[in-house]
Structure 1
Amino acid sequence: MALLGQAALAMWWDMAPDVNAEFQDWHSHEHFRERLALPGFTRATRWSSVDGGEGVFQMYELDTHATLSSPRYLAHLNAPSPWSTRMMPHHRNMVRSQCHVLASFGGNVARYALVLRMSPAPGADAALLAALKTVLAPLVNQPGCVGAHLLRHEAPAIAPTTEQKIRGGDRFADWVLVVVGYDLGVLQGLAAAPLGPEALRQQGALPDVCSGLYTLSFSATAAEMG
């Protein structure tokens, strides 16, 4: 098993409690359905911060990276629905990474997700990739885990979209690491070591690693939403 495609769109944002109920309704019943109706979108999964805070992590699995610059997708990004237009300004601190899949082991839908954002040190891309593959591959068989996936951002050559302008612009994460499982304690242990900042630095990552723990909110494939 692996991610459903060769690319992924990974996103983080904060959603205030006073709009969270409407956000959940919109995102589940309109936005997921709209995106998964587009060619190349295979699965959508949303997690919420495990501590009950405002953080949201979202991943779309895609056939190929070219999906991110397809005419039909860009048409939606540049002509959001009235409900989307109303909700977009509430996506605070948006980080949006348009990624190639570098490595994918096991499943991607589980109760908990450990998500890390990082960058390789100059010249350390190959060493970091090799080290992470060695760490991630066995996690599929580790009690408490079901899958691990490594992504790398590459922005498609497109102009800023209407949705981005409504949000006020997006940041991006260079490399994205997602570990999913059913035991929160196991993922917390991985976040301390061997996927803690110091261990990753020794493997070739820059020290400014960002780590978060999330719990599953909703996941659907294109077939399920069709």
Structure 2
Amino acid sequence: MALAGKAAVVIWNDVTPEARSDFLAWHGREHVPERVSIAGFRRGRRGRAVSGGPEFFTLYEVENEAFLGGAYLRRLNDPTPWTRRVMPAFRQASRALCRVEFSLGAGVGGFVATAVLPELADADGAFRSALQRTAEALFAAQSALTGLHLLRCDANASREKTAEHGLRRETPELPAGVLLAEAGDAAPLADVVAGFSEKMASETGRRFEAGRIAIYRLELCLAAGEVLPPWDGSPTFAGEGD
């Protein structure tokens, strides 16, 4: 399916080795459920890098840009104790608030390529038409694709200082845009990204170069309304309590 909204939050990060297990427990059992409980947040996903980096990529799909303030901003300024413990272990973190320029899809892919766009032309009518033609042609030609999306990042909103921002080490650079390509297999994704960039450059005569490219294996997907049981650090097994 296409992205579940007209806005998105994208986050990349590494984490210190000694904090990795705590990060994974926090992220899956508290943080993503907390985020998708916020009004307007429809789905949260986390991937782990199989090519490139940083190691982790998180995508929140949001109804529209209006929901990137209000309750979300209040949450950013009131981190939980577990969040305060984990976030200082982030390294090479980058977070951007984005508007969805286009989104095509037939399902959630098991792998997603993220391509950072250092520059992204103004979204005038000609540029939007070129985007649509390129995306639809590439999606039709690449049967392995389950999703193809372009996000335009809002630098001012992304740089707003919050309590959470002060907890993690963020890189100063922000992308102008992000191209996301999803598939059931990682193999075609690098070629899809390269093909899209080349086609857009030839269609528009404008620079459309992908910077940092990484491919992630999906390891968590949680939609609004789905609830995970609280985790106390103890393993559970099928049949316990029967």
Residue 156 of structure 1: aligned partner: 157
- By how many angstroms is 1:84 displaced? 0.3
- By how many angstroms is 1:216 displaced? 0.6
- By how many angstroms is 1:177 displaced? 0.8
More helix by share: 1
Q: Between Structure 1 and Structure 2, whose CA radius of gyration is higher?
A: 2
Residues 146, 181 of structure 1: 8 Å contact kept: yes
- By how many angstroms is 1:201 displaced? 5.0
- By how many angstroms is 1:11 displaced? 1.1
Partners of 1:18 and 1:157 in 2: how far apart? 28
How much identity, in percent, do the aligned residues show? 31
Partners of 1:175 and 1:38 in 2: how far apart? 24
Question: Superposition RMSD on alpha carbons, in Å?
Answer: 2.5
Residues 166 and 178 (structure 1), Cα distance of their counterparts in 2 relative to 1, 3 Å cut? same
Deviation digits for residues 186-206 of structure 1, max 9, x if unmatched?
A: 113224x3145x666555235
Q: Establish whether residue 185 from structure 1 lines up as the match of residue 184 from structure 2.
A: no
Residue 213 of structure 1: aligned partner: 215
Partners of 1:194 and 1:158 in 2: how far apart? 31
- By how many angstroms is 1:158 displaced? 8.4
Q: Normalized against structure 2, the TM-score is what?
A: 0.81
Q: Establish whether residue 132 from structure 1 lines up as the match of residue 131 from structure 2.
A: yes
- By how many angstroms is 1:61 displaced? 0.5
- By how many angstroms is 1:16 displaced? 3.0
Amino acid at match of 1:40: G
Residues 174 and 53 (structure 1), Cα distance of their counterparts in 2 relative to 1, 3 Å cut? closer
Any idea what SS the aligned residue of 2:147 has? strand
Partners of 2:19 and 2:158 in 1: how far apart? 33
- By how many angstroms is 1:51 displaced? 3.9
Residue 223 of structure 1: aligned partner: 225
Deviation digits for residues 65-101 of structure 1, max 9, x if unmatched?
A: 111111x222211111111001111221111110111
Residue 40 of structure 1: aligned partner: 40
Deviation digits for residues 27-74 of structure 1, max 9, x if unmatched?
A: 00000111111101100011110149652111100011111111x222
Tell me, which stretches of 5 or more residues in structure 1 are unaligned? none
Residues 205 and 124 (structure 1), Cα distance of their counterparts in 2 relative to 1, 3 Å cut? farther
Partners of 1:104 and 1:147 in 2: how far apart? 7
Residues 108, 148 of structure 1: 8 Å contact kept: no
Any idea what SS the aligned residue of 2:166 has? helix
Q: Mapping of 1:87-98 within 5 angstroms?
A: 87-98=86-97
Q: Mapping of 1:1-226 within 5 angstroms?
A: 1-51=1-51, 55-70=55-70, 72-107=71-106, 109-120=108-119, 125-126=123-124, 129-141=128-140, 142-154=142-154, 155-156=156-157, 159-169=160-170, 171-191=173-193, 193-195=194-196, 201-202=201-202, 203=204, 204-205=206-207, 207=209, 209-225=211-227
- By how many angstroms is 1:9 displaced? 0.5
Partners of 1:158 and 1:74 in 2: how far apart? 12
